[in-house]
Structure 1
Amino acid sequence: MLNSQRIFVEAIRRYCADHHITVEVRADGWLIVMRGGGKRHCAFGYDLGLNSAVAHRIANDKSATADVLAMADVPCVPHVLFLNPELNAYVPSRGSWGAMLALLQQHPQGVVVKPNEGTSGKSVFLVSSAPALELAVNKIFAAHASLAMSPFLAIEHEVRVVLLDGTPLVVYGKDRPTVLGDGEHSLLELALTTLPADRRSAVLPGLFADVEKAVLDAIVPAGERRVLNWRHNLEFGARPRLVEQGEDRDICIALAQRAAEAIGIRFASIDVVRVDRGWQILEVNSGVMMEALSKLHPELVQAAYGAALDKVFG
């Protein structure tokens, strides 16, 4: 899909048409300039420009987000920052490798290594050995100035809350793809036969990358459900599902509101995860992306972006 065809761009165009605001789309859809009511306003990427520069920078930095939330006593997944060795003037004299190994030893179930900045789950690795850690670190540092390490958690559920000035606009879960064993077919066979064709390109690369061949080829016992990806990212095959009214939804909203207040962010999508029946913040995203959700609930996505644009144009 071209950048100019994103739902984000279409939602802005529709809003501007309904409110007699002129709109120009530049840079293949990444830059949008709006003029109306004596005001000129820009949107860039998935950022509508409501957040301060500091709030945006903190939300875009996983370790900074974790530090700010921890200081505000908001339950969150810790993320430890490590700089690329090429930034040697800012790296401790003792180096970073020893500290990375120490973190891995503290979490024998594994650690997640990812670029410290960025979204969408790309270049995110689950590692449980020193050689795998070294490979992941080298891959990330080949393209990024820093990385973040966090303990691997057996996440039961992940919920995204889209907030605007503390008001929840959208609350949806991310359901990972699964298969149900029949006692006759392997995990790979089940994945190939049960996944819809339009989801295979998103799910299968992660399955091949993360699951050992012996596990892929092993017969899955009848009645046993297997998750096909440890990630909850929508780009890797998870599907959005609106969260019904109830205690869990209220808890997620309350935590997201506390996180937004701590960072001072106005418009954001905040990921809340449940681990061992307790909820905590995973990430805060300054750019609000709802491409996957729009395929199921286009009117809800349009209303959310419209509410944010109302704040811009009064």
Structure 2
Amino acid sequence: MVLISQRIFLETIKKYCLARSIAVEVRSGGWLVIMTKGGTRRLAIGYDIGLNSAVAHQVANDKSACAEVLASAGISAIPHRLFLGSKLSKHIPGSDSLDAMLLLLAQHPHGLVVKPNEGTSGELVFRVTTRTQLETAVARILAAHPSLAISPYVEIKDEVRFIVLDDCALLAYVKLRPTAVGDGVHSLRELAHKTAPADLLKTITDDFSPAVLDSIPPKGELRIINWRHNLDSGAEPVLLKHKEMPHFGGALAINAAQALRIRFASIDVVQVDGSWHILEVNSGVKMEALGKRAPDLVEMIYSTALDKVFA
């Protein structure tokens, strides 16, 4: 059975292989793809098509390690500090320290973002401003993951995703978060119910205090109703032209790819206080949400990368 979340990725690979007489086998519910042409055999697993080295893949998908490597290369990145769950922390004393987490919280009055240290789905990502919220977030994440990463919460003006292949940005888009316009009558909660899809309402409720949700925005005032920029959380992609990319952190994305020695990746760049910073790097290039809006473009990118695989 093909995983629904991988439908576009898999269908693109199968279409590519069919057009080039490449035998393709889909295994493990769509998680593993085996591609064979003559004596050449190539594998894709998850959303990684096999261009990246094992080290580059592992570092990119480890948020804390990625931030450390970029910082050591002089590339501005949002810091992510690693904390380990009980199964791993015994090997590194203090790596599970609640006191260290609370110190971070005290140092950042606008709050922290707590997330799994590995993973790209945008799930179990929390903004916390109190000890109770922090402890709850940590418990929920470590119940499902062996480690977590904590970064300072920052006010992001723009978040841009770059798809980079061999030091070239093939595509970039700005992630526009869902918004609501005040009418001076309805509360933010009521406006969100009119604007946001039903499956996002719980996320929105979790993100804002009851007082904020029950406040009535003035008429004409624009309110962002989700601090997350994930497309799966309701953000809309706005494609950039190639000539626009340098103005949205394009050079920084390329520098990050070079520092990590990664060939094919999606790189998230954020603008904070007028400066651009790397937020995350993903070795597995997932474009399912974008593929629903621009399938031809997604097919072109995967096909260009697969050309490199079989070069």
- TM-score higher than 0.5 here? yes
1:3 paired residue number: 3
Q: How does 1:223-302 map to 2 (within 5 A)?
A: 223-246=220-243, 249-302=246-299
The reply on whether 1:148 has 2:149 as its aligned counterpart is yes
The alignment covers a number of residue pairs equal to 310
Structure 2 distance, partners of 1:46, 1:86, is: 28
Q: TM-score, normalised by structure 1?
A: 0.94
Please give the per-residue CA displacement for 1:163-220, whole angstroms capped at 9, x wherever unaligned: 110111111111110010011111122122234xxx331x212111111222222211
- Give 3-state SS (helix, strand or coil) of 1:6's partner: helix
Structure 2 distance, partners of 1:226, 1:86, is: 42
The reply on whether 1:56 has 2:57 as its aligned counterpart is yes
Distance apart, 1:253 and its partner CA: 1.8
Q: 2:179, 2:225 within 8 Å by CA — same for their partners in 1?
A: yes
2:127 paired residue number: 126
Structure 2 distance, partners of 1:250, 1:310, is: 29
Match of 1:210 among 207, 230, 240: 207
1:81 paired residue number: 82
Q: 1:187, 1:220 within 8 Å by CA — same for their partners in 2?
A: yes
Q: Which amino acid aligns with 1:262?
A: A
Distance apart, 1:10 and its partner CA: 0.7
Q: Which amino acid aligns with 1:273?
A: V
Please give the per-residue CA displacement for 1:110-163, whole angstroms capped at 9, x wherever unaligned: 000111111121111100111211111111111111111000000011000001
Match of 1:200 among 195, 198, 201: 198
CA RMSD of aligned residues (A): 1.7
2:160 paired residue number: 159
1:26 paired residue number: 27
Q: 1:37, 1:313 within 8 Å by CA — same for their partners in 2?
A: no
Distance apart, 1:250 and its partner CA: 4.5
Q: Give the direction of change, closer, same or farther, for the CA distance of 1:95–1:81 in structure 2 (3 Å limit).
A: closer
Q: Give the direction of change, closer, same or farther, for the CA distance of 1:243–1:102 in structure 2 (3 Å limit).
A: same
Question: Unpaired segments of 5 or more residues in structure 1?
Answer: none
Structure 2 distance, partners of 1:163, 1:128, is: 35
Q: 1:161, 1:252 within 8 Å by CA — same for their partners in 2?
A: no
Q: Which amino acid aligns with 2:205?
A: F
Q: Which amino acid aligns with 1:3?
A: L
Structure 1 distance, partners of 2:270, 2:94, is: 36
Q: Which amino acid aligns with 2:76?
A: P
2:42 paired residue number: 41
- Give 3-state SS (helix, strand or coil) of 2:58's partner: helix
Structure 1 distance, partners of 2:281, 2:92, is: 26
Distance apart, 1:292 and its partner CA: 1.0
Q: Which amino acid aligns with 1:134?
A: E
Structure 2 distance, partners of 1:94, 1:294, is: 39
Q: How does 1:84-99 map to 2 (within 5 A)?
A: 84-92=85-93, 96-99=97-100
Q: 1:171, 1:249 within 8 Å by CA — same for their partners in 2?
A: no
Q: Give the direction of change, closer, same or farther, for the CA distance of 1:95–1:234 in structure 2 (3 Å limit).
A: closer
Q: Give the direction of change, closer, same or farther, for the CA distance of 1:47–1:188 in structure 2 (3 Å limit).
A: same
Q: Give the direction of change, closer, same or farther, for the CA distance of 1:93–1:256 in structure 2 (3 Å limit).
A: closer
Q: Give the direction of change, closer, same or farther, for the CA distance of 1:93–1:290 in structure 2 (3 Å limit).
A: closer
Question: Unpaired segments of 5 or more residues in structure 2?
Answer: none
Q: Which amino acid aligns with 1:173?
A: V
1:179 paired residue number: 180
- Give 3-state SS (helix, strand or coil) of 1:189's partner: helix
- Give 3-state SS (helix, strand or coil) of 2:228's partner: coil
Structure 2 distance, partners of 1:268, 1:114, is: 20
2:217 paired residue number: 220
Structure 2 distance, partners of 1:292, 1:184, is: 34
